[in-house]
Structure 1
Amino acid sequence: MKIPTTTSRNPLARYLLAATPIAGHVLPMLGIGADLQRRGHDVCLLTGEQYSDRVRRAGMRLAMLPRDAHVPPSASAPPSRLAPTVRRYMRGRAELDSVFIAPLAAQFDALQGVLRREPVDAVLVDLAFTGALACLLGAHPRPPILVCGVGPLTLSSAQTPPFGMGWPPQPSVDYTNMTRFVHRVMFARTQTRLNRVLREVGAARSPVFLTDWPRLADKMLQLTVPGFEYPRADLPENVSFVGHMFPNSTDEHSVAPWSAQLGTARTIIHVTQGTFDNTNLDQLIGATLRALADRKDCFVVATTGGGPIHTLRCPVPTNVFVTDYLPYEQLLPSVDVMITNGGYGGVQHALRFGIPVIVAGETADKAEVAARVAYTGTGINLGTAHPTPADIDTAVDQILSNPGYRIAAHRLSRDFAAATPLDAIANALADVTAHPIPLADTE
């Protein structure tokens, strides 16, 4: 039996998008799905029920993930005396399990449920939606599967340190043996857990380490420009850099009452803890408010990403405005420096406007984002998720006194402006539907 697949670019296609219910993963997929829908395709988005209104407003159909396919919120880790590498190893091992492995079976069941109910020409999933890995390694026919890189490129390379260490690469260093040791020794139990779950859902063992799973997909569409990634001569052929998906300002929240102060302050600082690691607002926002409270030449706009503002343990200075969300399209053109815990989307949004960044983050992929910021010269990596006010104050002075950071950020902003991610993604999907993968007959 062979699965039916559209074989022409002209007829409208039926696409299934699947997104792990984390804001930084869902929002780009919402933008992609809405664009495909506007192009006349039939789009279904498989994700958490909490995004149902936004899915329907975009004109897409919703397929809901069950609760056991969700990822638990990231808890802010307390300060630790452990060395940063050890700390990242312990945190990374736990997050690989909770984000990539624990939801896999439920994701796979939900994905297969949609594929059984309706014809699908191609599937596009976010990087953490490893239920698609079970489809890739399963015995059943499948449509083409594409992966959307909503975080830094996780694929291993001889020219980069193993993903998760948060180290920028050194020239002329071969990281092959280090990567092999990390995958086969340090994270051997992680791979064993992955293969156990794959076996339980009837899929084959993974021939690659967990973070390399997008190599097995038909295409990987990385949501950035090459200039914000490490150069790799051994980049797999299925990887394409398409640029970043920036949200449309019409989809964001209403304008907050901070605009009047933007024209009076000499320096505008924006601080955010994003939407994933924001349970302890004092970790970065509080430290920033303490650092900049006496700098009357600065106006600080802080966003909590939905975290409760009342949990801030420090008073809000007069030169600070705090809110949960705000429209970046209106704020960022006026910002001089962004201070962030390293969300992939937020950092790229700043760089899109040529804004240098200060990064203080270690959970999820944030240490890797921070390392790329330092590598590209577009900002400062504080190397901790718990900076002191003095750390932040010093970093702000460094950014403002050294024009090199802004020059590097402006260089990347031109790359982002030249990218056309929606066209690139639509063309990639059209290509795999026009040239479907060969599928073996099954009984």
Structure 2
Amino acid sequence: MATHEKPLLLFTSFPLAGHTQPLLKIAAFVIKQGYEVTFIAAKEFEPAIVAMGATFVATPGVMELVPPDWFAQRESRAIGYERILYDHQTVMMSGIVQKTQIVDDTLVEMRGENPNRQIIMVLETFNQGVLPFKYGRPPPRGFDLFPKTIGVNTLPMYIQGVDVGPFLMALPPDSTPSGRLRNQALNKLYNESPFSQALTRGYNEKYFEAGATRLPEGFPGDAWVTSWDVTLQLCSTSMEYPMSDLPSNVVFTGCLPLVTPEPAYRYPDWWSDVVENHAKKKIVFVAQGTVAMNLRELILPTILGVADRDDILLVTTLGMKGATLPADFVVPGNVRVADYLLYDVILPYTDVFVSNAGYGAITQSVMAGVPMVLAGESEDKMETIMRTTWAGVSWNVKTQTPTPGQIREGIDAVLKDSTFKQRVVELQKENESMNALARIEEQVVKFTE
């Protein structure tokens, strides 16, 4: 099948913004380099995918798969392992069978239309719709072997090793002899825990239902990293725990660059306040992402924490178009609110970023050279916070539901201690020098026949 043409690229990601947005950046870049891209994504991303010149294929969005009362049920679960397990069972596992079939159907269609073109898959590692093919599901019709796979990891390294404790226990790395004994014992206890057993059982059932004939070994997260021909970690090594037994297929690319908004991008009506006050006041930006939508957890405490501060202009995005603050909430004069605002737009003006630590958000903050105040305990947030704290670029509030005083304390600590800013600028330069997008294209070139 060797030709002089560039291979066709099939992208797919878990259908949430934090998992899809990084792949949209990558897809837009490789299209400009002359590659043809097909992108399997939730319907909400179709306009962006079509606009960049890719072929869009729909996959069910998360809210199409979860129960109607999902948000209320989620909020009723205790923050920590109970809520994390519920999220995995109702969100992450949902749609694995459908997503796998959509990948199969799309590859069959691509092969039928281009029988002599090589196809390479670029997949977000949390997607789950490709894993069954790596564990026994036959290749799609028209393929002797499944295409080469480039995994893109949009999370901290979700794997176990001799130098690190179990993921989701939020422990710092320890490679000393006693530390390795600790890690070994805790990983064993963790893997035998009811939480881990339920997680493993649930994923294995879905993989079998999607056509797998054998199971990944060990903790499920290991397979999400180790199953691909190469797995690209979207950060520099200084942002991830050192692991002496890091899988050989893992390549660090550096963080993805910030993007310049399109000329037609619509800024909030108050945007001039940010531009004009950038040199006069400290700009604090607070966001909770697109999953943790209870504004009382972080956004409202942050607003209240700086409400009387003439030296601070606080900007917040509510994470969803059309979202609003509670009707009875009075917005202080030093606060500007947007329902949805691109992080790439506001971060270059920001002095401190307050966040619940979505991984994409912290990498964007690093690329803008902005230190962080982080508060989060759900999903993978606690692990992200531990890594940024270890790297010296964030203040850890150590709760998902901080008080206004705790947020204020964190903001003041970051503003007063210049080492946070110095360290994040060091990481910014380190990651910029790695040229992540070029490194990603290099992997495509390596796999081109």
Match of residue 277 from structure 2? 262
Label 1:71 to 1:337 Cα distance change in 2 as closer, same or farther (>3 A): farther
Q: Which residue of 1 aligns with 2:119?
A: 121
1:282 and 2:322 equivalent? no
Structure 2 portions without partners, runs of 5+: 112-117, 139-144
Cα deviation for residue 59 of structure 1 reads 0.2
Match of 1:292 among 306, 331, 343: 306
- Aligned residue for 2:231? 220
Structure 1 runs not aligned, ≥5 long: 1-5, 435-443
1:209 matches 2:203: no
**Matching residue's letter, 1:136:** K
d(CA) in 1 for partners of 2:61, 2:287? 28
Does the 8 A contact of 1:20 with 1:71 survive in 2? no
Question: Post-superposition shift, 1:23?
Answer: 0.6
Matches of 2:228 and 2:257, distance apart in 1: 24
Distance 1:344 1:179 in 2: 23
1:345 corresponds to which of 360, 366, 381 = 360
Note if contact 1:28-1:246 (Cα within 8 Å) is conserved in structure 2: no
Deviation at 1:301, TM superposition (A): 1.0
Q: Provide the C-alpha distance between the structure 2 equivalents of 1:70 and 1:165, rounded to a whole number of angstroms.
A: 31
Aligned residue type for 1:166: A
1:61 aligns with 2:71: no
User: How far did residue 62 of structure 1 move?
Assistant: 0.9
User: Would the aligned equivalents of 2:173 and 2:242 in 1 still touch at CA under 8 Å?
Assistant: no
Could you say what secondary structure the match of 1:62 adopts? strand
For residue 241 of structure 1, what is the aligned residue in structure 2? 252
Match of 2:388 among 349, 363, 373: 373
Q: Pick from 187, 192, 195: which aligns with 2:201?
A: 192
Q: Matches of residues 27-426 of structure 1 in structure 2 within 5 Å?
A: 27-66=21-60, 72=66, 75=71, 87-119=79-111, 121-140=119-138, 141-172=145-176, 173-174=179-180, 175-186=183-194, 187-203=196-212, 204-213=214-223, 214-251=225-262, 253-256=265-268, 257-260=270-273, 261-263=276-278, 265-278=280-293, 280-306=294-320, 308-311=323-326, 314-426=329-441
Partner secondary structure for residue 268 of structure 1: strand
Amino acid at match of 2:193: V
Structure 1 residues 408 and 432, CA, compared in 2 at 3 Å: closer, same or farther?
Answer: same
Give the number of aligned pairs: 422
| Aligned residue type for 1:390 | G
Aligned to 2:130, the other structure's residue is in SS state helix
Partner Cα separation in structure 2 for residue 109 and residue 237 of structure 1? 29
Asked whether the 8 Å contact 2:373–2:397 carries over to 1, the reply is yes
Which residue does 1:438 correspond to in 2? none
Q: CA deviation at 1:209?
A: 2.1
For residues 83-139 of structure 1, give each alpha carbon's deviation from its aligned partner in whole angstroms, at most 9, with x where no partner exists: xxxx42222222232343222111111111112222252111112111211011124
Matched AA of 2:12: A
Counterpart in the other structure of 1:437? none
Q: TM-score, length-normalised on structure 2?
A: 0.88
Shift in Å, 1:265: 3.7
| CA–CA separation in structure 2 for the residues paired with 1:258 and 1:137 | 50
1:290/1:314 contact within 8 Å kept: no
Q: What is the rounded CA distance, in whole Å, between the counterparts of 1:195 and 1:263 in structure 2? A: 51
Coordinate RMSD, CA, aligned: 2.3
Q: Secondary structure at the match of 2:169?
A: coil
Distance 1:285 1:242 in 2: 32
| Residues 160, 222 of structure 2: 8 Å contact kept | yes
Matching residue's letter, 1:95? D
One-letter code aligned to 1:391: Q
For 1:259 and 1:126, the matched residues in 2 are separated by 37
Measure how far apart 1:300 and its partner are: 0.8
Distance 1:165 1:397 in 2: 28
Tell me how far apart the structure 1 counterparts of residues 146 and 21 of structure 2 sit (CA, whole Å). Answer: 26
Tell whether the 8 Å contact from 2:369 to 2:425 is kept in structure 1 after alignment: yes
Q: TM-score scaled by structure 1?
A: 0.89
Q: Is the 8 A contact 2:41 2:57 kept in 1?
A: yes
Structure 1 residue 312 displacement after superposition: 6.4
**Identity across matched positions, percent:** 25
Q: In the TM superposition, what whole-angstrom CA distance separates every residue of 1:407-439 from its partner, at most 9, and x where no partner exists?
A: 2111111112112121111111221233xxxxx
Task: Note the alpha carbon deviations across 1:175-204, whole angstroms, 9 max, x for none.
Answer: 123112212333112212222222223212
Q: Hey, what's the Cα distance between the residues in 1 that align with 2:204 and 2:8?
A: 31
Task: Say which structure, 1 or 2, has more relative contact order (CA 8 Å, 6+ apart).
Answer: 1
